[in-house]
Amino acid sequence: MTVTEEQALEPTPPAPAAMTYADFGEAFLRKVIHRRRVLEVIERVLGEKIELGPIGAGPGRKFAKVRATGWFQPVSGVEIPGPDIGFRIIVPVDVDFEIEIARDVNRFRARLLVPITVRLRLEPPLYLLVDVALPEEDEVSLQVDTDKRRSAVLQRVAGLENELRRFMTRVMEKEFAKPHIQRIMRVDLLQLVDDTWPELVDRLLPDDPPPHHDPDAEAAAHLL
C-alpha cells in the first residue's frame, strides 16, 4: 500500500462546529483584546517617569522639603475569571526621593505597587468601552529601603509615606483623564472598520486580478 493510499484511508477530521453570533463576538473580543495588549496600552499611557516636588512635608508642611522621581517598571496582570472580560493589573514604580531638613539632605529609595482594574463593556450600536478603576490611597503598597538613621528621619517627617501614596493616585487620575486617553476608552468599532475597510480590501484582493473568462466568447471565436 502506497503512502497516498494510506492517507486516503485515514479518517477525515471533523469540521469545526458552527459558532453563534454571540459566541463569535465574545471570542473575537477575548482574542483581540488580550492581556498582553492591555498591559502594553497601560505602559504607553503612563510613560517612563514621574516627578514630584519640591513639596512641604511634616507638621504644617514646613518641617521638610521633599523631591521625588519615579520610574515606571514593566506592568503585570492577570485576566479576571468570569463571563465578563477584565484584568487585574499591578503597576510597579521605583522612586528615588530626597528629604531636606534644615539643609540636611537624606536620600531614599522606595518601591510602590499600584493596583488597577480594567473591564470591558459594550454599548449599542457598536461601541467598546474600557472602564479603569484606580486604587484608593490605602491600596497602594509602599516599601522604603532604609537603614536605622534614615528610618529615624522618616519618622520625623510625619505622613510622608501617605503623601507618596496620595501623589501616586493623583498621577494615575491625571494621566487617565487626559483627552487622548479618554478617546481610546470609548472606541467606535463601526467607524474603525469603515476607516480601515479600503486597506482591508486591498490586502484581501489581488493587485492584478486574472482576466475575465467568457466561455461564450471563446466558443464564438472557435467557430470563426
**What is the per-residue pLDDT across 27-42, written as a single tens digit (0 to 9) for each?**
999 999 999 999 999 9
pLDDT at 149 over 80: no
Q: What is the DSSP string of 151-202?
A: HHHHHHSTTHHHHHHHHHHHHHHHHHTSHHHHHHTEEEHHHHHHHHHHHHHH
Q: Report which DSSP code applies to 120.
A: E
pLDDT at 167 (0 to 100): 82
Stronger pLDDT, 220 or 199, i.e. the higher one = 199
pLDDT at 209 (0 to 100): 65
pLDDT at 12 (0 to 100): 75
pLDDT at 104 over 90: no
d(CA 67, CA 48): 17
Say what percent of the chain tops pLDDT 70.
79
**Cβ(58)–Cβ(158) below 8 Å:** yes
Stronger pLDDT, 212 or 174, i.e. the higher one = 174
pLDDT at 34 (0 to 100): 92
pLDDT tens column, 2-23: 555 555 566 777 877 888 999 9
pLDDT at 100 (0 to 100): 83
Q: What is the mean pLDDT of the chain?
A: 83
pLDDT at 207 (0 to 100): 74
Mean pLDDT of 62-73: 85
